Amino acid sequence: MMELGKEIHRLRNSRGITQEALAEALNVTAQTVSKWERGTSMPDVQMLPEIAIYFGVTIDQLFAMAPEQQMERIENRIYSQGLLEAAEEKQIEQQLHTFAGKPEHIGQARLLMTKLYNHQAEQYRMMAVESGREAVEKTGGSSDAISELANAWGSYIPDWNVRNHHALITWYDDYCRRNPENRSALMWLLDNLIDDRRLTEAEEWLKKLAQIDHTFRVPMYHYLICQAAGDTNRAAEQLHKLEAMEDQEWCWAVTMGDIYTLRQEYDKAIEWYRKGQEMQPSPKFTDSATSIAHICEIRGDRAGAISAYREVLRLQKEEWGIISGEEREAVERAIRRLQE
């Protein structure tokens, strides 16, 4: 309470505003403003937006929160619900632009901007899926409606000129040449090269990854390259090598689950996903349980899928403290759909 009062006092003085003028603008008495500034009372929570607008600051700034705290609060806000209203999106964007103007905060601010735009895009994409399904039904299955629904749903696209990752690969190629020690960037570059079947280039970049990484990731990429090249014998050798590895981090087991899922060896995949979840330290992610739910749905095992989704809900609550919001509601919707 004192911090809020001090900040109102500081903002008022920095702008040369009297207590009386502020009180008149907010439709309160000068005595009320004085009590705020002395910390003997606090503005009603409903007045905070009005005070913030009057001074041209954010509510977080009223409480004199450190930039790091404000950005953490912004991230929590982005993921606390579904689509953000345009006014709130603009307010968050403006806050982040302010932080991005400071060299010490530009990286985190730009990262949060990316998360904001991706969150909003994902919400619109989900809306497009719902609208697109109805469009297909109501237009008698027109090719235009089917195409738009496929686009919204992230469908496979047969046209190479649309499907290829040329621009993304070019950017990552340049970045990795300038930052050859960045394992994460190297892996994204490899993923996209393999997806585009640019396997000779992938092999060259894998040599660079092998120089800085001594985990399961190197044989994993060897396996993926061999699979993409149709070299089943070498792929089998790499897969055996992967399975036999020891003292690996938990995502090794989840990766094995992914590999066996793509091979449609679902029983093995589920075993590996469960192993990955067991190995994972708290707070545990929900990816393994969600993958199992998807496998069960593919197999037509509704009961198994419901059980896996309930495990997702448990992990959300017990590991992350998520008891409401869009992330949880999406899982609950999946369970209701399966129960119908």
213 and 110 in a common domain: no
What's the pLDDT score for residue 57?
A: 78
pLDDT at 287 (0 to 100): 96
Ranges of residues in the chain whose predicted pLDDT is under 50: 1
Domain presence at residue 285: no
Domain membership of residue 279 (yes or no) is: no
CA within 13 Å, CB half, 204 = 8
Q: CB-side exposure of 182: number of CA atoms within 13 Å?
A: 14
For residue 259, tell me if it sits in a domain: no
Calculate Rg over the CA atoms of the chain: 26
pLDDT of residue 2: 57
DSSP conformation class of 45: G
pLDDT at position 39: 80
By the 10 Å C-beta count (0-12 exposed, 13-18 middle, 19+ buried), 267 is classed as exposed
CATH code, 19: 1.10.260.40
pLDDT at 325: 78
Same domain, 69 and 169: no
Report the domain count for the chain.
Answer: 2
From 209, 243, 277, give the residue that closes a domain.
243
Determine, yes or no, domain membership for 336: no
Structure-block tokens of residue 70 = 């404000």
Residue 50 lies in a domain: yes
Torsion of CA 113, 116, 119, 121, to 10 degrees: -70
Residue 51, judged by CB atoms within 10 A of its CB (0-12, 13-18, 19+), counts as buried
Together in a domain, 184 and 91: no
Range of the domain at 214: 157-243
How far is residue 253's CA from residue 136's CA, in Å, rounded to a whole number?
A: 40
- What's residue 243's pLDDT? 95
Q: Evaluate whether 71 touches 108 at the Cβ level (below 8 Å).
A: yes
Q: In 3-state terms, what secondary structure has residue 115?
A: helix
What is the Cα 306 distance to its own chain's centre? Answer: 24
Does residue 7 share a domain with residue 84?
A: yes
69 shares a domain with 8: yes
Query: Quick check: pTM over 0.75?
Result: yes
Task: Answer yes or no: is 268 within a domain.
Answer: no
Q: Is residue 183 located within the same domain as residue 104?
A: no
The pLDDT score that the predictor gives to residue 194 is 98
Q: In the listed set 90, 117, 144, which residue is the last one of a domain according to the structure?
A: 117
Question: Is 64 inside any structural domain?
Answer: yes
| Token output for 262 | 């793509």
CATH for 168: 1.25.40
Per-residue confidence (pLDDT) for residue 3, from 0 to 100: 74
Asked if the structure places residue 334 within a domain, the reply is: no
Closest residue by Cα to residue 3 from 64, 47, 58: 64
